[in-house]
Amino acid sequence: MSVLSETQSFARDKSRDAMLAAMNGKPTLIGLSRAEMGEALAEIGVAERQVKMRVAQLWHWLYVRGVSDFSDMLNISRDMRELLDRHFTIARPEIVEEQISTDGTRKWLFRFPPRGAGRPVEIETVYIPEEGRGTLCISSQVGCTLTCSFCHTGTQKLVRNLTAEEILSQLLIARDRLGDFPDRGTPDGAIVPAEGRKVSNIVMMGMGEPLYNFENVKKALLIASDGDGLSLSKRRITLSTSGVVPEIYKAGEEIGVMLAISLHAVNDDLRDMLVPINKKYPLKDLLDACRAYPSLSNSKRITFEYVMLKGVNDSLEDAKELVRMLKGIPAKINLIPFNPWPGVNYQCSEWEQIEKFADYVNNAGYASPIRTPRGRDILAACGQLKSESERMKKTERLAFEAAMIAGHGED
């Protein structure tokens, strides 16, 4: 079901203004660090003695109150608001489409303005409500370079990295649309957690490989977890990677969020085929990086994603090797039933076989939930996200479900 309400029509009008502002060379303040924001204010003539105070005010309005128009910053003088508006934008990008699944899952198609000599691009963001939490799946790139053989998103070529602003904007718009900022109402009939935040957890599991866009992802996640702003606990933020080993070390040291690994195989020969980045960073190197990830404990575990492929990686011997391989790593293993898409050569494991696999792993002491499909009717599962901006050519979004994004981070 597609929804385009009067409120959303207004949001789209405002977001088009944001795109026009960007095309006219108006920089955004969203996604800047405090130091960068201070430098930007100084450059437009804000007095040095006022810069720190103005940064604190802007930070509060942007990330606590969630405003997207300088005129709403009521404790800042009109002259200062007009000065800011002449030089910067804080408007949201365009919402092209919002879809709502029968199970409450929401998917947004966002359009971001051109960068340099490029053209506008589109990405998808998914929200999954569960009992006691709401998880937002955020994209980090337009397209992907990894070409994992079972993943339909990976059939789209990389167009470009998303900026820190574009990564954060996905969270800001989701909170707008769900009524998750102060004095905002939740849409009638929306399925959201009964208490607390509507967006309580975020996962970097959308389009792209986050660690191939390290600096922008790092900046966005540090702002998202800043205690004076969006204030999401780092234990409620999960960064998923297919195994960019050097950046895993950096992520642990410089970001410090929860880690998820797209594993899918227990030997290098098979993983080379399923997840080709394994040829560069084989399993031994990947698992060494996991063991070295800071602050690992039974309460801060690494999640290993494992898509169940019939006759490929689902035998009892595979389960035994998985347990042996992960020995000494505090871990949870998400078992993901595969849903074939046209042209793919894989099939989903039999349900009985998935349960046998899960029972063995569980009995060995590792939690191994079998992920329930969500958002099937709006093509909203991870691996299913495929924007319409592959080198600006329209592409067909075909049904595929390779991973589930719910259940990450602490409750």
- The hierarchical CATH code for the domain 94-378 is 3.20.20.70
Distance CA(301)–CA(304), nearest Å, equals 9
Q: Which DSSP string do the residues of 27-80 spell out, in sequence order?
A: -BSTT--HHHHHHHHHHTT--HHHHHHHHHHHHHIIIII---SGGG-TTS-HHH
Residue 128's DSSP bridge partners are 135
Distance CA(291)–CA(302), nearest Å, equals 9
Residue 390's DSSP bridge partners are 393
Of 382, 388, 390, 401, which residue is the catalytic one? Answer: 382
Distance CA(258)–CA(277), nearest Å, equals 21
User: Where are the chain's structural domains?
Assistant: 2-92, 94-378
Of 124, 305, 390, 401, which residue is the catalytic one? Answer: 124
Please report where in the chains the tokens 């130091």 appear, as a residue: 35
Instruction: Show binding-site residues for [4Fe-4S] cluster.
Output: 144, 148, 151
Can you say whether residue 111 is alpha, beta or left, with left for phi > 0 and alpha for psi between -120 and 50 degrees? beta
Which residues of the chain, if any, have pLDDT below 50?
1-11, 18-19, 21-23, 380-384, 386-404
Instruction: Show binding-site residues for S-adenosyl-L-methionine.
Output: 208-209, 240, 262-264, 339
β 141-142/160-161 pair status: antiparallel
The confidence score (pLDDT) of residue 22 equals 47
Domain 2-92 fold: DNA polymerase; domain 1 (1.10.150)
Q: Is 124 a catalytic residue?
A: yes
State the helix-helix crossing angle for 164-178 and 214-224, rounded to 10 degrees: 40
DSSP state of 310: T
Q: Where are the alpha helices (DSSP H) in 108-244?
A: 164-178, 214-224
Distance CA(21)–CA(119), nearest Å, equals 15
Q: Cα 301 to chain center, whole Å?
A: 19
The confidence score (pLDDT) of residue 59 equals 98
Q: Is 286 exposed, middle or buried (0-12, 13-18, 19+ CB in 10 A)?
A: buried
Distance CA(50)–CA(45), nearest Å, equals 10
The confidence score (pLDDT) of residue 115 equals 77
Question: Would you call 358 helix, strand, or coil by DSSP?
Answer: helix
Residue 261's DSSP bridge partners are 241, 304
Q: Is 348 a catalytic residue?
A: no
Q: How far apart are the first and last CA of the chain?
A: 29
| Contacts by 318-321, CB closer than 8 A, 24 or more apart | 318/266, 318/357, 319/356, 319/357, 319/360, 319/361, 320/360, 321/266, 321/267
Instruction: Show binding-site residues.
Output: 144, 148, 151, 208-209, 240, 262-264, 339
Kind and range of the H or E run holding 303: strand 302-308
**pLDDT tens profile 27-60:** 999 999 999 999 999 999 999 999 999 999 999 9
Tokens read off for 136: 């937002």
The confidence score (pLDDT) of residue 158 equals 82
pTM of the model: 0.86
